Structure 1
Amino acid sequence: MSKRKINPWLKTALELGPVLAFFVAYLRLRERAFTIGGTEYEGFILVTAGFIPLLLLCTGILWALTGHLSRMQVATAVLVVLFGGLTVWLNDDRFFKMKPTIIYLLFGGLLGAGLLRGRSYLQYVMEEIMPLRPEGWMILTRRLTFFFLALAVVNEIVWRTMSTDAWVNFKTFGLTIGIFAFFMAQGGLFKKYGIGED
């Protein structure tokens, strides 16, 4: 299937919609408990159970509309099913809270492995979006590798030392703002190493 472009607002809605829906549902159900099949589940567990099919549905729609999914989207979907499934099955919210740590360690590790081989795997994924000279890709890849590893550490600190409310806020807003701020801070690099038309 060939890669197609869709309305950027629709793409953003499909990518961020499940996360925002998780946040809103959690706010409504966080102080409630439900007994299903003789087992009591906190609101967080039920919201996680709903988040899994919603994310898969939105990812499937995105794939149907564009004919393409990034490796990050595929990996995220797989890890949501794995860790979200464990959270619901074992009735233990720790697995879902560990998911961002695993994702950021995975991506940081992959980028780091590429750097050790003298290559920028980031370039293969994002070259169409941000054309840079080779040295620019290496610098950006190094920075993003350390950034991902730092996010993994911060996620571990937040979920292990703070309340579930604090973690949900951090996951929904803190990580999103952090990633946005990281790329905004790379403006000088994009300007210096960017490949543009004269």
Structure 2
Amino acid sequence: MKQLLDFIPLIIFFVLYKMQDIYVATGALIAATAVQIIITYLMFKKVEKMQVITFLMVAIFGGMTIFLHDDNFIKWKVTLVYLIFAIGLTVSHVIGKSAIKGMLGKEITLPELIWARVTWAWVAFFLVCAGLNIYVAFSLPLDVWVNFKVFGLLAATLGFTLITGVYIYQHMAKEDAEAKSSE
């Protein structure tokens, strides 16, 4: 349910962009993201830092897009969010408090090396997405960028999440097999 809730603002943005324009879609994105955070809090009594950062970036860059009537700001928002996530993962890992391990470590037991590899893989993924967004946003037409933002980055994120899950599962299975063979 929570994952579906995360996609609603993106869907609203896409539909309104196709029906109206980037400015109406951006305003709706800001409102929908705010509502998403409120609903998330009411349902789960918790809002993740990632959601708050995303909302702040949407509100700031979306607001500048609308008020200055310049779609470049909303395009930069995507890149900056990915860069913030990459920096956040890097810093959390370097100070010994891996954010990914913090999110998943309660349910999954893995060696530190595997947590590190997963963290660095996500850092690389976010950096690649940030770079791709810059290229698509500023080299191709707005329609192409909107489709890339909504479908390309979403598909890439879902695909990379799946790959990460398979990688983690492989290492969980090895640990479980080793534990059973030693019994």
Same fold (TM over 0.5): yes
CA distance in 1, matches of 2:107, 2:68: 40
Shift of residue 134 of structure 1?
Answer: 2.1
**CA contact 1:101–1:153 (8 Å) conserved in 2:** yes
**CA contact 1:84–1:96 (8 Å) conserved in 2:** yes
For the aligned residue pairs, the C-alpha RMSD in angstroms reads 2.0
Identity score, percent: 30
Deviations 1:55-76 (A, max 9, x none): 1012111111100111111111
Change (3 A) 1:98 1:129: farther
TM-score by length of 1: 0.81
Match of 1:121 among 70, 74, 99: 99
Match of 1:147 among 107, 125, 141: 125
Shift of residue 133 of structure 1?
Answer: 2.9
Corresponding residue number in structure 2 for 1:45: 23
Deviations 1:13-68 (A, max 9, x none): 32111111111111111xxxxxxxxxxxxx21122112211210121111111001
Q: Show structure 1 runs of 4+ deviating over 4 A.
A: 195-198
Task: Give the number of the structure whose residues are more often strand, by fraction.
Answer: 1
2:46 pairs with 1:63: no
Deviations 1:51-109 (A, max 9, x none): 21121012111111100111111111111111101111111110001111001111111
Q: Give the secondary-structure state (helix, strand or coil) at the position aligned to 1:185.
A: helix
CA distance in 1, matches of 2:96, 2:68: 42
**CA contact 2:16–2:24 (8 Å) conserved in 1:** no
Q: Give the secondary-structure state (helix, strand or coil) at the position aligned to 1:186.
A: helix
Match of 2:156 among 178, 181, 184: 178
Task: Give the number of the structure whose residues are more often helix, by fraction.
Answer: 2
2:17 pairs with 1:26: yes
- Structure 2: 5+ residue stretches without partners: none
Change (3 A) 1:189 1:14: closer
1:97-136 map, 5 Å: 97-117=75-95, 119-128=97-106, 130-136=108-114
Q: Single out whichever of 188-197 and 171-180 deviates more from structure 2.
A: 188-197
